[in-house]
Chain A
Amino acid sequence: EAQVTQNPRYLITVTGKKLTVTCSQNMNHEYMSWYRQDPGLGLRQIYYSMNVEVTDKGDVPEGYKVSRKEKRNFPLILESPSPNQTSLYFCASRLQGNTEAFFGQGTRLTVV
């Protein structure tokens, strides 16, 4: 089944404790992105990647890191999480620039 898989689905952590949210897609898509969703603000892009080893900042990259060592995986790293990073995070992939995006199930992160 074609899908985007994120893990974990839920995470509660403490300020400053490094964490990684994994994202994997099995559709051989070129493009992958991370978004955060906050009430009233919609989906804001954190980082995106056009291919292996090619990444670029989205609109809200501060406090986040990504890597794209393999085509299928695009992990999101929070080196030192802060409470303002409490949010719902979505990973998405798409085949090419102008094709539909497929989203993962989401990761609800709480930083206390």
Chain B
Amino acid sequence: GQQVMQIPQYQHVQEGEDFTTYCNSSTTLSNIQWYKQRPGGHPVFLIQLVKSGEVKKQKRLTFQFGEAKKNSSLHITATQTTDVGTYFCAALYGNKLVFGAGTILRVKS
């Protein structure tokens, strides 16, 4: 089936360090979404990217959509303990919203 590959699977950073997670698809995507799941919680929508080369920012979070619309990244500047959780990308294939495997972020204070 359709797949969105997400790396890394896990990252443990010192508070204040930056963090990036990447998503890749073998096919061109119509859009890509990002979600955050806090420990013990449910996924919560962060943002959707639609345009080729699009860059959007939410405070310390920067989201990018590749020029070819086959990859995307989420970058967090100066991580804080409140950033801990699992970050998922998700892509639409027809009517199906397919999620990447997620990147678990742990922050050492």
Could you count the A-B residue pairs with CB atoms below 8 Å apart for me: how many are there?
Answer: 58
List of A residues within 8 angstroms of B96 by Cβ: 45, 48, 56, 58
A24 to B46 Cα, complex, angstroms: 22
Task: List the one stretch of B52-60, B67-75, B98-106 in contact with chain A.
Answer: B98-106
Q: Which residues of A contact B (CB under 8 A)?
A: 31, 33, 35, 40-45, 48, 50, 56, 58-59, 90, 92, 94, 97-106
**Contact status of A35 and B45, CB under 8 A, knowing A42-B6, A43-B88, A59-B1:** no
Asked whether B76 is an interface residue with its Cβ less than 8 Å from the other chain, the reply is no
**Contact status of A100 and B1, CB under 8 A, knowing A31-B95, A43-B88:** no
A90 to B45 Cα, complex, angstroms: 14
**Contact status of A48 and B42, CB under 8 A, knowing A41-B101, A42-B6, A100-B48:** no
Q: Is the interface of B mostly helix, strand, loop or mixed?
A: strand
List of B residues within 8 angstroms of A103 by Cβ: 42-44
Could you tell me if B100 and A94 are in contact, using CB atoms closer than 8 angstroms? no
CB-contact partner of B102 in A42, A99, A102, under 8 A: A42
List of A residues within 8 angstroms of B101 by Cβ: 40-42
Could you tell me if A40 and B48 are in contact, using CB atoms closer than 8 angstroms? no
B1-44 CB contacts (< 8 Å) to partner A: 1, 6, 9, 30-31, 33, 35, 42-44
